[in-house]
Amino acid sequence: MPLVHTRELITPGGAVCAFNVITVEHAEAIAAGAEAAGRPAVLQISENAVKFHGGQPGPIAAATAAVAAASSARLSLHLDHVEDETLLRRAHAHGFTSVMFDASKLPYGDNVKATAEAVRWGHERDIWVEAELGRVGGKAGDAHTPGVRTDPAEAAAYVADTGVDALAVAVGSTHAMTDRTAALDHALIAELREMVPVPLVLHGSSGVPDAELRRAVAAGMTKINVGTALNKAFTGAVRAFLEAHPSTTDPRKYLAPARAAMTETVAGFLRTVAGGNSG
């Protein structure tokens, strides 16, 4: 079916998984995993993935949208972790209905200013804007550095000052974990849910165990971002195939099991998150 707007997948009392797309096989696996689990999902392409594709969002966004159009699952297209304002301003031309504008490396005042401007630009084009509050709670480091936490009062002020549609919060997850050992701060999630009037986004969900994810969703976490877990499944399957068949030259031979392994991972996360949904 045609892409849906990301806003339609963010519903009160429920959560949606957002998976990072790097190759066409990622998009195919996410669509197949969503079909298998009977759940919607967000297909997200990061600025880093765009850089990998030569700095052009067009080809990978068009391929991802075409995969979504051929799928029976409800899927949306999101531009993730955008720091480059030129790329941000190309989002709507490539079918993205949401962006995560990441000014989290800037000092608070500059982050607010840049994000408010991104929100104004996005809303004029019906684009849903997620942002992240970095260097939270007076601590140094990006919001997903281990140990860094979002301060609820600062988060509430940030949302009021910027007008963002959703907020990525630091509650114990860390980007790029390859094992699922993160412990979330559930009391903080509850406090943030109470004080922040927009959907909350959990980044770095690859490192979060299933039970922790279910609790986080039940407590009000609304968008669950997963990237590394797909890459771990992909690369593990490629490695295993090539070790067993070292003379292989046709990439389809190892990309097929890699895509199947990602499909299984996607379906697993979607079923877990569905188990935590209250709506």
Interaction of residue 175 with ligand G3H, rule CB under 6 A: yes
Angle at which helix 210-218 crosses helix 251-276, to 10 degrees, equals 50
Residue number, 23 or 225, with CB nearest to ligand G3H: 225
Number of residues near ligand G3H (by CB under 6 A):
16
Interaction of residue 205 with ligand G3H, rule CB under 6 A: yes
Map residues 13-32 to x or -, x wherever contact with ligand G3H holds by CB under 6 A: -------x------------
- Residue 69 interacts with, from Zn ion, ligand G3H, none (CB under 5-8 Å by kind): none
Instruction: Indicate the residue whose CB is closest to ligand G3H.
Output: 227
80 is catalytic: yes
Residue number, 81 or 214, with CB nearest to ligand G3H: 81
Interaction of residue 203 with Zn ion, rule CB under 5 A: yes
Interaction of residue 78 with Zn ion, rule CB under 5 A: no
Could you say which of 111, 225, 263, 265 contacts ligand G3H (CB under 6 A)? 225
Residues contributing to the site for Zn ion (CB under 5 A)? 203
Which residues are identified as catalytic?
A: 80
